[in-house]
Amino acid sequence: MITAAADGSSLHNPGPAGWAWYIDDATWAAGGWPKGTNNMGELTAVLDLLRATRDAGEELTVLCDSQYAINCCTKWMAGWKRKGWRKADGKPVLNKEILQELDTELAGRQVHFQWVKGHAGHAMNEAADSRARAAATAYRDGTSVDHGPGFGHAPAAEAAAGGADDTQNVFCAPQRHSAGNVCGEDDQEAPCRAAAPTATQLEATSSRDVTSASAGDIPSIEPFQDGLFELDAPSALVSTLADLQSRLVDSNPACRQQAMVELLSDDFIGHAADGKVRSKARLIAMDRSIKSRTTTQIDILGITEPADGVALVRWRSRTGARAELHASLWRLSGQHGDGQWQIVFSQATAI
């Protein structure tokens, strides 16, 4: 049995927001957004915990101080799904994209939710809360986010490998991640993120066993840049694109290359930090020549939607001592919003 605490934090609700889950001092993770809500943080903490522990083969108990998160996962989600992700009054459910991903991750899992009172001295809850709040504060201040060691990783060894590869990729070096589907028979060390679901796939029915119980040195941002770090896109789009962007820097080479095939448009052009211009085919070929695994941490700085079906994602990466700023232009293929988001252009700048 794995027992973990999950928590979210938003400084102004909405405002700079963070999430975190905590098992012990060597097993935890955190993240966030420049703008989000407490509920987004609470749900995302549970979602990332489910992804991280998916292949552990153990039952999971999640300690939450949020009745909203517990009720979403144990009481309300099934009804919302039957109604097309709408509430009883016909209005769309808030945080739908996160809830849909939770529905997928909970399928077939033995997951138990237990309520604990927040800010009441519960050690694990306090540990998750402090890490979620630290992530939100980092987004407010424009400083680096401590993402934590994750589940079943050796961060020190990965960090040591971070500076070993000199190959410049328009998406920087690979990122540590622990979620998704295993890709390929030859690389079973780290599972891949699942591809983003289409509108049709999101309607698929899933079963789950979920219960609830009651119980008690990257440069900082200058002041004149404050307006840059805002999310104009809807929260569902933010969640989707942040997840897709992170797939492109996965530490598993097979997963990363699979993501490039799926998520780079055929007419993709990338401007790397070394000044070179690369096509989709060239980028994939270069990536296949990279043998070492490295760890990259990424922070989403802003997501805007200048037009329907078009989104600009601005993000920051750090691999060892190397830090870069990135801008990725995403385009939604297909019609009626049922297609796949793909990158048509990316720019990387060393900082």
Binding residues for Mg(2+): 7, 42, 65, 129
> Which of 321, 300, 193 minimizes the C-alpha distance to 251?
193
Contact call for residues 300 and 242 (beta carbons, < 8 A) = yes
Instruction: For residue 250, give the DSSP letter.
Output: B
- 7 catalytic? Reply is yes
Q: What angle (nearest 5°) sits at the alpha carbon of residue 121, between those of residues 115 and 123?
A: 80
101, 126, 129, 243: the catalytic one is 129
Residue 28 in tokens = 């935890």
Q: Give the whole-angstrom CA distance, residue 227 versus residue 57.
A: 45
- 266 catalytic? Reply is no
Contact call for residues 21 and 71 (beta carbons, < 8 A) = no
- 8 catalytic? Reply is yes
18, 32, 65, 147: the catalytic one is 65
Task: Give the number of C-alpha atoms closer than 13 A to the C-alpha of residue 334, restricted to the C-beta side.
Answer: 11
- Give the residue carrying structure tokens 């097993």: 27
- 12 catalytic? Reply is no
Annotated binding site: 7, 42, 65, 129
- 65 catalytic? Reply is yes
Distance between first and last Cα of the chain: 44
With H, G, I as helix, E, B as strand and everything else as coil, classify residue 182. coil
- 48 catalytic? Reply is no
- The residues that are catalytic are 7-8, 42, 65, 119, 129
